[in-house]
Amino acid sequence: MNQLTEYRREFHKYPENGWREFRTSARVAEILTGMGYDVAMGPDVIEPGSVGEPERLSEEQIRQEMERAVRQGADPAFVKRTQGWPGVMAVLDTGREGPVSAMRFEMDCLPYDEPQRPGYRPCDEGYLSCNPQSVHACGHDGHTAIGLGIAAELMKRKGELKGKIKLFFQPAEETFYGAQSIVDKGHLDDVMNFIAVHIALSAENKPLPSHTVACGCRDFLSDRQLDVYLEGKAAHPCGASQEGKNALLAACSAALNIHSIAPHEEGLCRVNVGEIHAGVCANTIAPDAMMRIEYRGQKPAISEYAGQRIFDILEGTAKAYDLKYHYVDYGEVPAGASDYAMMEVVQRAAKKVPWFQTVYFEGNVGGTDDAAVMLTKVQQNGGIGSYVGIGADTTGPVHNPEFDFDEDCLQAAMELCVYALEELHGTDA
- Note the pLDDT tens digit of each residue in 166-198: 999 999 999 889 999 999 999 999 999 999 999
Q: Which of 402, 396, 397 is nearest to 115 (CA)?
A: 402
Q: Which residues have C-beta within 8 Å of that of residue 256, sequence separation ≥ 6? A: none
User: What is the identity of the amino acid at 130?
Assistant: C
- Domain 226-333, classified CATH 3.40.50.620, yes or no: no
Check pLDDT > 70 for residue 240. yes
Q: Report how far residue 303's alpha carbon sits from residue 226's, in angstroms, rounded to the nearest whole number.
A: 13
For residue 155, how many other CB atoms are within 10 A of its CB?
14
For residue 423, how many other CB atoms are within 10 A of its CB?
16
Secondary element (H or E) of residue 198: strand 193-199
Check pLDDT > 80 for residue 1. no
Check pLDDT > 90 for residue 411. yes
Q: What is the pLDDT of residue 359?
A: 99
| Buried-exposed string 159-193: b where 16+ CB fall within 10 A, e elsewhere | eebbbbbbbbbbbbbbbbbbbbbbbbbebbeebbb
pLDDT digits (tens, 9 = 90+) for 258-288: 999 999 999 999 999 999 999 999 999 999 9
Please report, for the chain, the start and end positions of each structural domain, with discontinuous segments joined by +.
3-220+337-425, 226-333
pLDDT digits (tens, 9 = 90+) for 2-37: 999 999 999 999 999 999 999 999 999 999 999 999
Q: Is 187 annotated as a binding residue?
A: no
Which CATH code is given to the segment(s) 3-220+337-425? Answer: 3.40.630.10
Give every strand in the sheet of 288-297, ordered side by side: 269-278, 288-297, 222-231, 324-333
Under DSSP, the state recorded for 19 is: T
**Quick one: average pLDDT of 37-53?**
95
Q: What is the pLDDT of residue 181?
A: 97
Q: Is 106 annotated as a binding residue?
A: no
Q: Which of 97, 98, 75 is nearest to 28 (CA)?
A: 75
Q: Which of 178, 245, 157, 215 is nearest to 24 (CA)?
A: 178
Q: Is 174 annotated as a binding residue?
A: yes
Please report the sign of the dihedral spanned by the C-alpha atoms of residue 330, residue 381, residue 158, residue 361.
Answer: positive
Exposed/middle/buried for 282, CB within 10 Å: 0-12, 13-18, 19+? exposed
Exposed/middle/buried for 380, CB within 10 Å: 0-12, 13-18, 19+? exposed
Q: Which residues have C-beta within 8 Å of that of residue 233, sequence separation ≥ 6? A: 243, 244, 245, 285, 287, 323
pLDDT digits (tens, 9 = 90+) for 354-380: 999 999 999 999 899 999 999 999 999
Q: What is the pLDDT of residue 429?
A: 61
Give bridge partners of residue 224 from the DSSP assignment. 295, 332
- Helix, strand, or coil here: 307? helix
Q: Is 399 annotated as a binding residue?
A: yes
Q: Report how far residue 414's alpha carbon sits from residue 2's, in angstroms, rounded to the nearest whole number.
A: 13
